[in-house]
Amino acid sequence: DIQMTQSPSSLSASVGDRVTITCRASQSISNYLNWYQQKPAKAPKLLIYAASSLQSGVPSRFSGSGSGTDFTLTISSLQPEDFATYYCQQSYSTPWTFGQGTKVEIK
């Protein structure tokens, strides 16, 4: 199985900050990497697919980059509604796997 490792596990940031979350795959996954946002007691929401494609309706302050084994999710200017947990997920090969999550908290 492909292992997905996110860093950091949690971070504290202020409104307006630029935030970067990284995700590393245990083997090359090309660009088969997706990012989700999850708020407490809610289902995850797709933000970015195919490493860098913005899902329809998602604000442009979210962006993704990377290929192969190293990927990043960037929030250019953190907004109050962005405080949540973020997960990466690979769909290069089954079984599909998720990272352990990064919790973004208010500083």
Partner 1 sequence: QVTLRESGPALVKPTQTLTLTCTFSGFSLSTSGMCVSWIRQPPGKALEWLARIDWDDDKYYSTSLKTRLTISKDTSKDQVVLTMTNMDPVDTATYYCARIKASAATFDYWGQGTLVTVSS
Residues 6+ positions from 33 with CB-CB distance below 8 Å: 23, 25, 50, 51, 64, 66, 71, 88, 89, 90, 91
Residues 6+ positions from 56 with CB-CB distance below 8 Å: none
The 7-36 site mask, x for binding partner 1 (CB under 8 A), equals -------------------------x-x-x
Q: Pick the closer one to partner 1 by CB: 44 or 66.
A: 44
- Our finding on whether 83 is near partner 1 (CB under 8 A) is no
Strands 102-106, 10-13: pairing is parallel
What is the footprint of partner 1 within residues 57-76 (CB under 8 A)? none
- Residue 48 in tokens: 């970015």
Site size toward partner 1, by CB under 8 A: 25
Residues found near partner 1 in the complex (CB under 8 A): 1, 32, 34, 36, 38, 42-46, 49-50, 53, 55, 87, 89, 91, 94-101
